[in-house]
Structure 1
Amino acid sequence: MTSQNPFADAAAGFELPEIALEVDRLALVKYAGAADDYVRQHWDHPFMIEQGYPDVIGHGWLSFAHMCRVVTDWAPPAQATIARYAVRYHRPFHPGVLTCGATVDSVGPGRIDLSLWARAADGTVLATGSVSLTPPA
């Protein structure tokens, strides 16, 4: 759901529409190819079981990309520019449903600050982040 004008419509506390998607091993392999990141933890299930993990681990940047997608679905690049971002990973994410969302923290002249999050299907918070938007140049 794209905002007509995020700088006119945004208010502190507004929750952007969430996205939920299935991140399977195929998605992780495709991301590995796109990112040129072939670390075994992202694709080699038997190796990860030997290491004591229940499954392969998704790429952190992939989860953050989906968190940012919540923002760009609401305020596309033609309407807003990501001026600053930060992310903190709390738990590894394994293949399964990844749900991402964002909340407007504050709105100021020419700036919108948002908090982002990603959760596993069981509700565990996997990552949190922040984004600051400015009008496009």
Structure 2
Amino acid sequence: MISDRPTMHISIHYRGNSKYKKSLKQQLSAYSKRVLSEPWEPFVEIHLDSIDIHGEKQIQQEVIYDRVVTYHMKKAIASIEELYTIAILLISLARQRLYENSPNSKTENLMIISITPTNNDDPANDIFDIQWSIGQ
């Protein structure tokens, strides 16, 4: 952990195509390294977690913060690039909020993102339930 800038811990649970999951993990790792290389950006720590670890982090988020705001949308996702773009947009908005709230502090924040197919029985179904929450 880098102690001289705000830190954003991000837990992502993706329940879908394993090829997508592997590619998403590689792309998010590269993104995290790019952000880390910029000294004025908040530190971003991204994890693709199992459902159990993800659940534990959700409980941790509820215990740590006075209030947790959760957002939800359903979205057709046709490619791994689109999935990555959605994750990065959510992370970028949270990073901006964290930095605006505490640009010179050692504040930490936890963001939870869940990406779940709406119909597990139909592999052709590319509609996902996307949920994200941030502690305040």
TM-score range, shorter chain: 0.3 to 0.5
Which structure features the higher share of helix residues?
A: 2
Structure with bigger gyration radius = 1
TM-score by length of 1: 0.32
TM-score by length of 2: 0.32
